[in-house]
């Protein structure tokens, strides 16, 4: 019986030793896995930083390109406007509007009546002068 007991204890110790070795192997494997995960996270962080910097550079370049396109487009539009005379046309329309306002002010009913009465009186005066001149010429003959 003591042999059995000894065998049993040796078996238990053997299994405990195997269990300890398995636990040690598991710890080694976990350490390797943790190191691998840490390396992957570090690589991912580096790539994210590079990607962020590239996005920042690209964004700045895109903004500069769009600004340059906008400036050159504005200059071309001004050039086309000058070539087509759009600015002169706008000024002419503005001047015509001013002339129209002035004409409305000048040609109101009272002003027109006054101008017509002056014109009629001038015509009458000229007619009277012409008649007077005609009669003087007839008398001389």
Burial-class residue 81 by CB neighbours within 10 Å (0-12, 13-18, 19+). Answer: middle
Q: Look at residue 77 and tell me if it is in a domain.
A: yes
d(CA 137, CA 130): 10
15 against 134, higher pLDDT: 15
Contact assessment for residue 46 and residue 52, using Cβ atoms and an 8 Å cutoff? no
Q: Look at residue 112 and tell me if it is in a domain.
A: no
What does the pLDDT look like over 63-92, one tens digit per residue?
A: 888 888 888 888 888 877 777 777 777 888
DSSP codes joined into one string, 84-134: HTHHHHHHHHHHHHHHHHHHHHHTSHHHHHHHHHHHHHHHHHHHHHHHHHH
Q: Which of 8-17, 75-84, 98-107, 126-135 has the highest mean pLDDT?
A: 8-17
d(CA 15, CA 4): 16
What does the pLDDT look like over 31-60, one tens digit per residue?
A: 999 999 999 999 999 999 999 888 888 888
Q: Look at residue 110 and tell me if it is in a domain.
A: no
> How many domains in the chain?
1
What pLDDT does 12 receive? 92
Q: Look at residue 133 and tell me if it is in a domain.
A: no
Evaluate if pTM is beyond 0.75: no
Tokens of 119: 């014109």
Structural domain that includes position 7: 2-84
What pLDDT does 141 receive? 64
Q: Look at residue 121 and tell me if it is in a domain.
A: no
d(CA 66, CA 127): 77
Q: Look at residue 25 and tell me if it is in a domain.
A: yes
Q: Look at residue 115 and tell me if it is in a domain.
A: no
Q: Look at residue 139 and tell me if it is in a domain.
A: no
């Amino acid at each position: 019986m003591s042999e059995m007991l000894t065998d049993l204890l040796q078996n238990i110790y053997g299994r405990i030793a195997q269990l300890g070795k398995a636990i040690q192997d598991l710890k080694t494997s976990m350490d390797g896995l943790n190191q691998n995960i840490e390396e992957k996270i570090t690589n991912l962080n580096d790539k994210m930083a590079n990607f962020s910097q590239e996005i920042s550079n690209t964004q700045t370049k895109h903004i500069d390109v769009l600004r340059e396109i906008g400036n050159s487009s504005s200059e071309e539009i001004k050039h086309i406007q000058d070539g087509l005379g759009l600015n002169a046309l706008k000024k002419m329309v503005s001047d015509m509007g001013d002339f129209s306002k002035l004409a409305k002010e000048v040609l109101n009913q009272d002003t027109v009546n006054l101008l017509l009465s002056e014109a009629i009186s001038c015509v009458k005066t000229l007619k009277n002068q012409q008649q007077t001149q005609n009669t003087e010429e007839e008398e001389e003959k």
